[in-house]
Amino acid sequence: MKVIGLTGNIGCGKSTVAAMLREHGAATIDADAVAREIRHNDADARAAIVRRFGTYDASQLAQVVFADADALRDLERILHPRVRGAIRARLAELDEGGVEVAVVEVIKLIESPLADACDQIWVVRCDEADAIRRLAESRGMDEETARRRLANQSSQDAKIAAADVVIDGSAAMDETRRQVEIALAALRASG
């Protein structure tokens, strides 16, 4: 099984690219969805979050952690090891099930040990103005909130420097799809 690590900053189009890959038969794992599952279903994680933050409500947590870098690091210390373990287990299941291509969608992939589980790192990049507009449209964020979220992520340049493939999320949808199809065909042809 080939594993694509799909990353890029918030609002750049990772989920759109993941959907395109699913259309071409790839299995996808969204780290944010895994984190939500853990936050709700893992009693130990939930207890640790409540001890540290007084709540495990997603919107309340977001307000705290995206305004305080120490709080964000604390939340990541609680969740990330569990998320990585769950993703590795899902990858093993997919491999045993004969899946040809799996995609792991993770914002902080480059900084994570999960990068080692990937055959290729794909970065979806976009113009900051596009990311801010998309966050306003899809998540109702105001510009200040969107900029704060972007500031809490590693730079787009750092992600691109670590990439095997860069997909332009600011391009027209047909062009983005063409880039995905070319990169996926090359990965499949690589044996």
Provide the H-helix boundaries in the chain: 14-23, 31-41, 43-53, 58-65, 69-96, 128-139, 143-151, 156-161, 173-189
What are the C-alpha distances in Å from 174 to residues 50, 90, 182?
44, 31, 12
Q: How confident is the model at residue 24 (pLDDT cuts 50, 70, 90)?
A: very high
pLDDT tens digits along 48-63: 999 999 998 888 998 8
Q: What is the pLDDT of residue 69?
A: 87
Which are the contacts of 66, defined by CB distance < 8 A and separation ≥ 6?
72, 145, 148, 149, 152
pTM score over 0.75: yes
| Secondary structure letter of residue 76 according to DSSP | H
| Chain mean position to CA 65 | 17
Cβ atoms 180, 97 nearer than 8 A: no
Model confidence at 181: pLDDT above 80: yes
Query: What are the chain's domains?
Result: 2-189 (3.40.50.300)
Q: What is the pLDDT of residue 31?
A: 96
Q: What is the pLDDT of residue 37?
A: 95
What is the residue whose two structure tokens read 């609680």? 78
pLDDT tens digits along 130-180: 998 888 888 888 888 888 888 878 889 999 999 999 999 999 999 999 999
Model confidence at 191: pLDDT above 80: no
The pLDDT of 90-96, averaged and rounded, is 98
